[in-house]
Amino acid sequence: MHKSCPHCGQNFVPEPGFYQGALYMSYAFYVAFMLVYFLIFVNFFEAYLNYFLVSIIPVLILLTPLFYRMARRSWLAIFIKPTHEKVVEE
């Protein structure tokens, strides 16, 4: 992740440890995804819960980079208001 926005110069690391709260956001994304995945799996593959347990691990491993970025982006959006001003480089 960039230290600051290349467009407007917004600092993406306002203080040390700022993104520790993004861990909770990531956890929420995982739980929401697993719940939806489980409901879809149960409705379409009723008696095959063993396949659900075997399939969820690789799916979550593959989605880890996406959830990591979404959690950091969401955490940043909660605390920092986006600016639409362009920095003029001299």
Determine the pLDDT at residue 66: 93
**pLDDT, the chain, mean:** 83
Q: Which residue has the tokens 């799996």?
A: 41
Cα distances from 88 to residues 8, 23, 50, 83, in angstroms, run 9, 35, 58, 14
Residue 88 in any domain: the answer is no
Asked whether residue 24 is domain-assigned, the answer is: yes
- The answer to the question of residue 39 being in a domain is yes
Q: Would residue 71 count as lying in a domain?
A: yes
Residue 85 lies in a domain: no
**Spatial distance between the Cα atoms of 53 and 13, rounded to a whole number of angstroms:** 37
28 belongs to a structural domain:
yes
Question: How many domains, the chain?
Answer: 1
**Residue 9 in domain:** no
Distance between CA atoms of residues 26 and 28, nearest Å = 5
Domain that holds residue 24: 20-79
- Which band of pLDDT confidence, cut at 50, 70 and 90, is reported for residue 84? low
Mind listing the pLDDT tens digit for each residue in 12-53?
Answer: 777 888 888 889 999 999 999 999 988 888 888 776 777 888
